[in-house]
Chains A and B, each alone.
Chain A
C-alpha cells in the first residue's frame, strides 16, 4: 500500500553537493524542503575517521563508497549492434552514493571551463569552418555563457575555499597563474597547495619548453578557512587518500565540510535517507509533476507530493529518473530525434610515465588529490587545431594524487603483469617515477547515448540505465596528439625513459579512467536538442529542474565539478528570484 505523505514545497532527489546547496538556499528562503537520499547519512566523525578510512582494499578495490551495483548497476555496450551487460564491478567510473554524494570521494580538482567551451559549436565553426568536424559529432552551445556563470563560479569556489592562483583577474594576466583561463572576478579564496617535487620537476621542464605551468586549483585546502556559510575547514595534510575516500581531517571541501551543518540546522529542511526514488509522478496532463514515489529500506512505498521537484543525482541517475518518469522524449540514435539520453559524453584520459634513476626520489605518496603543477597550453581551444582534424584537448600535469600501495605501481612498458620480474620492477620504479595525467575533452556524437535497458532490472524491478559508448575518432586523434606533447615534457624533465599512453579504443568499463560522465539531460535554447532550458528547467514539465553534469552538451578538458557548482548557483538564482515567485516556464518554447 502506498502511503501518501503531507505535501511540501520542494522535494530534492539526491542529497549530494547539488542537493545540499539547493536545499540550503530554498530552506533559507522559507520553503519546506524534503531531501531524499537513497544511501546512508554519514559525517566526518565518526564515519570518515582513521584508520578505517584508509582501508585501501575496502575503498579502492571494493569501492565501499559507490552506488550498490548488486542492486542498481548500469548496463553497457560499445555500440548499438551489441547486447549490453550489467557492469557488476565499478572500474571505469565510480558513481557514489550516500549523504554528500559522489563529491565525498572526489579529488578536489576545481577547474573552471573556458568561455569558449560554453559556445563550442559556434566558436568551432567561426575558427575552423563548417565542415571541420566528423559528421557524427553533435556538439552544441550550452545556452549560457561564461560571463553568465562567472559570479556563480566565484560563489561556489568561495563556498569550497578552493586553493589556487588566479591567472586572469578581470582581464589582467596574473604571474604564476594560468594565463589561458577566462577572466575571474577575484583571486582564489586561499593560496595554492605546496608544490611537491614532481610538480617542481614538471614546472621547470614545461617552462623550458615555453609553456605556462601553474599550480592545480585544489579543494583540499592549503590553510584553515571559514566559508561564507560560517563553516570552518582545516588544512590538508597530504595523506594521499582523497579520490575513492572520504577525508578525515575536515580538509577536503565536500557537502559535510562546507554546507551540510547549515542545511541540517534549518527546520525547513528534512533529510530522509534510505529512500529509493522510483519516479517523478505527473498529473493527467503529463505537463505537471505532483511529487515523487519512493521506497524506504523497509520496503514501504511512499508518495511525497511537492509543488517543485529537483533531480540532483549523479549525471547518469538524473537521466534514468527522467526516463523512468516519462519526462521528455527519449533519444533515438537511428532517427537522431528525441532528447533524453542524447549527447552522453565522457572524458578522454591519457597518461605519460617518466622513469628516473634510483637516485631521484619522487615520494608519490606525499600528495593530495589536487596538488601538483600543470599546463593548459594543449587544453580546450588554447592551440590552433587547423589541419589537426580534431577539436578539444587536455591539460597535461604532474598531478598524481597518491602512492597507495595496492593501486599505485608504475612499471615501464614490457614489464610482465605479475610474478617475480613484475615485483622487482615495482620496487625499482615505485619511488622514481612521475606520472602525468592528460585530462582530455570529449565530444558528443550521434551514436553515444543513454536509454533504459530492455532486459535488466534493478532490485526494485525498474529497468536499468543502458550506456552505449565508444571513443569518438575526434577524441582519439586528440589523445594521440596531446600525449606526444606530454612525452616531450617528460623528456625535458630528464627522465631516463618516457612512456606515453594515449587513450585508445575500444572503450572498456573494466579499467579506471574518470567519473566525469556527462550529458543525457542536456541544457540549451532549443527544445529539439535539449532536455532542459538554460536554467535547467524541464521543457516538458516546468516544475521539474534537472541539476547535474547531465546538463553538459559535451565535456571539456577539465574536471567538471566547479562548473556543476556554478550551474547549481545559476539555477538557484533563477529558482529563487523568478520561478518560485511566479511558477511557470522561464523560457518560452
Chain B
C-alpha cells in the first residue's frame, strides 16, 4: 500500500472513522500547534485544515505538504486524481471522493489564496546536500540527463500556475516521498510522464538533496 501521509494524526483518525459520510459542516479541531485560520474558508476546507494546518502550512515531519499559496489548478487536479484513484493515497481518496465539484474548487481556491510562513527544515541539510540540490534545481545534470527542476517549476521552485506546483518551502520529507513514488512508478498522474522520466534518473542521494534544497527555500 502506498501511503505518503504517515503517521496519522489523532484528528485524522477521528475523521477516518467518519469517512463514509464526512460531515464538512462539523468543524474539526485545528492540528496541534497550528495558528488559527487568518480568514474563514469554505466549510469543506475544515477537514483539510486538520492535517494541512489552519493556514495550509502543512506538517513537514509528517510528510503532510503545505498547501498555502499553491496553484489552485494544481490542487484541484490533485483532488480529482485522488478521488478517481489516478493519484493513489487511501487517506486522501477518502476525503476527496465525497467532494462535489463546487466544494473541490472552493477548497482549492481557498488554499491557493492563503499565505503562511515556511517551516524551517529540521534537521538542517548539509552544505553538500544543498549544493547538489541547488545544481539539480537550477541547472540539472548532463551525466544523468536530468534537466533543471526550475525549467517547469519556475525560478527557485516558485511554481508556474496552471502547469506546475511550487516546491520552495515544501516539506522535504514529502518531496522525497513523492519523488520516490514517481521514481518507482507508483505515482503517475503526470502529463507525458514528465515527472516519472526525470525521477527515474535520480538516485536516493539526489532525491534527498533536491528535496532538502527546495525545502530550505522560503515558500513563495
* Interface residues in chain A, defined as those with a beta carbon under 8 Å from any beta carbon in chain B: 43-46, 49-51, 222-224, 232, 234-237, 248-250, 261
Contacts and interface: CB of A to CB of B under 8 A. Distances in A.
B193 interface: yes
A50 B193 contact: no
Contact of B192 (A46, A223, A232): A223
B192 A222 contact: yes
Interface residues of B, number: 20
Nearest to A224: B197
Contact of B194 (A43, A45, A237): A237
Interface string B184-205: 0000000111100110000000
Nearest to B144: A45
Contact of A50 (B146, B148, B191): B148
Contacts of A261: 145
A249 B146 CA distance: 8
B192 A236 contact: yes
A235 B140 contact: no
Nearest to A256: B142
Interface of B: 138-142, 145-148, 150-152, 155, 163, 191-194, 197-198
A44 B140 contact: yes
A46 B142 contact: yes
5 contacts: A45-B147, A45-B148, A49-B148, A232-B145, A237-B152
B147 A249 contact: yes
B141 A45 contact: yes
B168 to A, nearest CB: 16
A45 B192 contact: no
A46 B151 CA distance: 12
Contacts of B197: 224, 232, 234-235
Given A45-B148, A51-B150, A224-B197, 13 more contacts: A43-B142, A44-B140, A45-B141, A45-B142, A46-B139, A46-B140, A49-B147, A49-B148, A50-B151, A235-B197, A236-B192, A249-B151, A250-B145
A224 B163 CA distance: 19
Nearest to B193: A224
A45 B143 CA distance: 9
B158 to A, nearest CB: 12
B152 A44 contact: no
A250 B146 CA distance: 8
Q: Tell me which of B141, B151, B155, B192 has the highest count of chain A C-beta atoms within 10 A of its own C-beta.
A: B192
A51 B147 CA distance: 12
A335 B193 CA distance: 60
B127 to A, nearest CB: 21
B140 A45 contact: yes
Contacts of A51: 150, 155
Contacts of A248: 147-148, 151
B130 to A, nearest CB: 18
User: Main SS of the interface on chain A?
Assistant: loop
Contacts of A234: 147, 192-194, 197-198
Nearest to A54: B151
User: Main SS of the interface on chain B?
Assistant: helix
A44 B192 contact: no
Contacts of A223: 192-193
A224 B198 CA distance: 10
A250 B192 CA distance: 13
A257 B148 CA distance: 15
A576 B43 CA distance: 73
A51 B148 CA distance: 10
A249 B138 CA distance: 13
Contacts of B163: 237
Contacts of A44: 140, 142, 145, 147
Nearest to B138: A49
Contacts of B151: 49-50, 248-249
Contacts of A250: 145, 147
Given A49-B140, A50-B151, A224-B197, A235 B192 contact: yes
Contacts of B198: 234
Contacts of B138: 49
Given A44-B142, A45-B142, A50 B150 contact: yes
A51 B160 CA distance: 13
Contacts of A237: 152, 163, 192, 194
Contacts of B146: 45
Contacts of A232: 145, 197
Return the 4 tightest CB-CB contacts between A and B, nearest first: A235-B192, A45-B140, A45-B142, A50-B151
Contacts of A46: 139-140, 142
A237 B152 CA distance: 9
Nearest to A46: B139
A51 B191 CA distance: 21
A250 B151 CA distance: 12
Contacts of A43: 142
Contacts of B145: 44-45, 232, 250, 261
A236 B192 CA distance: 8
A575 B148 CA distance: 40
B18 to A, nearest CB: 40
A80 B152 CA distance: 51
A89 to B, nearest CB: 30
A236 B193 CA distance: 10
A385 to B, nearest CB: 42
Nearest to A222: B192
A48 to B, nearest CB: 8
B162 to A, nearest CB: 10
Nearest to A43: B142
B28 to A, nearest CB: 39
B147 to A, nearest CB: 6
A222 B191 CA distance: 10
B213 to A, nearest CB: 16
